[in-house]
Amino acid sequence: MEKQRINQKILCKRMDELEMAISELNPLEASEINKRLLKIENMLYAAKDTLTSQEAANYIGISLSQLYKLTCKSKIPYYKPQGKMVYFAKKELDEWMRQDHCPVITQNIQSNEV
């Protein structure tokens, strides 16, 4: 038998079903399951090379409106095939987040001995 391949659409549907079931659990169990779901969502981004706008905003930790502002001003690398949907290369987002590196400044602390 061939194992069914889980794609993003199936995974999202399953996560929605889990979230519905979580709402019926007690608060402590729901909190723990929500943490695990968040971890799974973050791992899903690691498996993808190209992200949608919502995924990219979540990935770099900003709001969707802030991401739209950055794309509008061409301050973040993005792709717009056929002029509609906006996509982001995860590798380019990583590079963008690493720009303008600020080096660590160390100070030599000398003790004033009397």
Any bridge partners for residue 87, and if so which? Answer: 52, 79
Whole-number pLDDT of residue 1: 47
Does the CA dihedral 68-72-74-79 come out positive or negative?
positive
Q: Is 45 helix (H, G, I), strand (E, B) or coil?
A: helix
Look up residue 49 and give its DSSP letter. S
- The letter for the amino acid at 54 is Q
| Cβ neighbours for 15, distance < 8 A, ≥ 6 positions apart | 37, 40, 41
Look up residue 79 and give its DSSP letter. B
Q: Among 26-30, 51-55, 67-71, 85-89, which stretch is predicted with the lowest mean pLDDT?
A: 26-30
* pLDDT surpassing 60 at residue 65: yes
Does the CA dihedral 36-38-20-48 come out positive or negative?
negative
Average pLDDT over residues 94-111: 81
pTM summary value: 0.57
